[in-house]
Amino acid sequence: MTDRRVAVVTGAARGIGAATVAALVTAGWSVLAVDIAADDPAIPYHLAGPDDLDSVVAAAGDPDRVAGYVADVRHLTAVESAVAEAEERWGGVDAAIACAGAIVGGIPLQDLPLEAEQAVLDINLGGTLKLARASIPAMLRRPEPRAGRFIAVASAAATRGLPLLGAYCAAKAGVAGLVRSLGTELGPSGITANAVSPGSTGGAMLAESARLYGLSAQELFAMQQPIGRLLAPAEIAAVIAFLASAGSGGITGTVVPVDGGLAL
C-alpha cells in the first residue's frame, strides 16, 4: 500500500513507453511497466525484450516504486492481471497509459498479409481498448473525488493519410475516436480520457517506417516537420505526464498533437 498515485503503462520497455515510465517516476508516481517483452512473427522487426524491460525498471532506481510485468495487450485477461497486480502492490490505480504499438506496411493494403493487418489493429487499437476495459473499473474503485486518467498514444497517422500504412492509420484513428467517446462517457466520474498524437519520433518504430519507405535513415523524416528535427520520446512523455497530473483535470476527450508542427 502507498499514498503515491499509481499508473499502469503498456509498451513500457522502450521508446515513448519507457520515457513515460521515467517521467512519471520523476513526478512521484508508482508505476507498473507492462510489455510483451518478446518478438512477434507478424511484426517484421525486433520488439523490445526482457532485458529492455529490466533496464527500464532498473533506471527508475527504486524497486518499491517501479515493477516490470510481462503481458500481451491483445489478451484481456493478461491486461486485467496487470491492473490487478498494480492494485495489489500499491493499493489502487489512478492512471492507465496505452503506449504499446507496432507498425507494419510498406505495401498496398490489399497485398498486406492478413495476419500482419490483424496484428497492427490488435496491438495499436485492441490493446488500447483492452487497457480501458481493465483499468477504468479499477479507477472507479478509487474513492471520490477521483482524479483518474486514461491516456493513449495516437499518432499523426490518425488524421493524415499516410500511403502504404492503411492498417496503422485506421488503428490510430480508432484510438482518437476512443478517447473522444470515453471523455463523454466518463463525464463527471472524475476520470478523464485523452490521447497524445506524436509526429516523427526517434526510435525503433520510426526506423522501421524508414525501411518501409525505402529511406536510408529515420532522420530523413525530420524534413517533414516544421521544427526541422525528430522528436525525442521524452518530449512526448512530458505531455503524457502533464495529462496524468492533477493540473489536467479540465482536459478530456482531447487528442493533443505533439508533432513538431507536422499537422499544420
- The residue ranges of every structural domain in the chain are 6-258
Q: How much is the average pLDDT of 173-186?
A: 98
Residues annotated as catalytic (active site), given as ranges: 168
pLDDT of 4 reads 86
Q: Look at residue 111 and tell me whether its pLDDT is greater than 50.
A: yes
Confidence of residue 263 (pLDDT cuts 50, 70, 90): confident
Q: How much is the average pLDDT of 209-213?
A: 94
As a residue count, the chain comes to: 264
Q: How much is the average pLDDT of 74-82?
A: 98
pLDDT of 1 reads 43
| Residue 73 grid coordinates | 495487450
Higher pLDDT, 4 or 191: 191
What would the pLDDT profile of 138-157 be if each residue is shown by its tens digit?
999 999 999 999 999 999 99
Q: What is the dihedral of CA 127, 129, 131, 135, to 10 degrees?
A: 180
Q: How much is the average pLDDT of 191-198?
A: 98
| Residue 256 grid coordinates | 493533443
Q: Which residue has the cell 490510430?
A: 172
For domain 6-258, give the fold: Rossmann fold (3.40.50)
**Is the pTM here over 0.95, yes or no?**
yes
Q: How much is the average pLDDT of 107-118?
A: 97
C-beta of residue 53 within 8 angstroms of C-beta of residue 13 = yes
Higher pLDDT, 151 or 63: 151
- pLDDT exceeding 90 applies to what percent of the chain? 97
Q: Which residue has the cell 512530458?
A: 238
Q: Look at residue 2 and tell me whether its pLDDT is greater than 60.
A: no
Of the candidates 240, 157, 227, 237, which has an alpha carbon nearest to the alpha carbon of residue 194?
240
Confidence of residue 3 (pLDDT cuts 50, 70, 90): low
- β-sheet bridge partners, residue 249: none
Q: How much is the average pLDDT of 215-238?
A: 96
pLDDT averaged over every residue in the chain: 96
Q: Look at residue 25 and tell me whether its pLDDT is greater than 60.
A: yes
| Residue 113 grid coordinates | 498479409
Q: Look at residue 90 and tell me whether its pLDDT is greater than 90.
A: yes
| 137 cis-preceded (ω within 30 degrees of 0) | no
Q: In whole angstroms, what is the distance from residue 148 CA to residue 93 CA?
A: 8
Of the candidates 261, 245, 251, 263, which has an alpha carbon nearest to the alpha carbon of residue 20?
245
**Distance, CA of 227 to chain centre:** 23
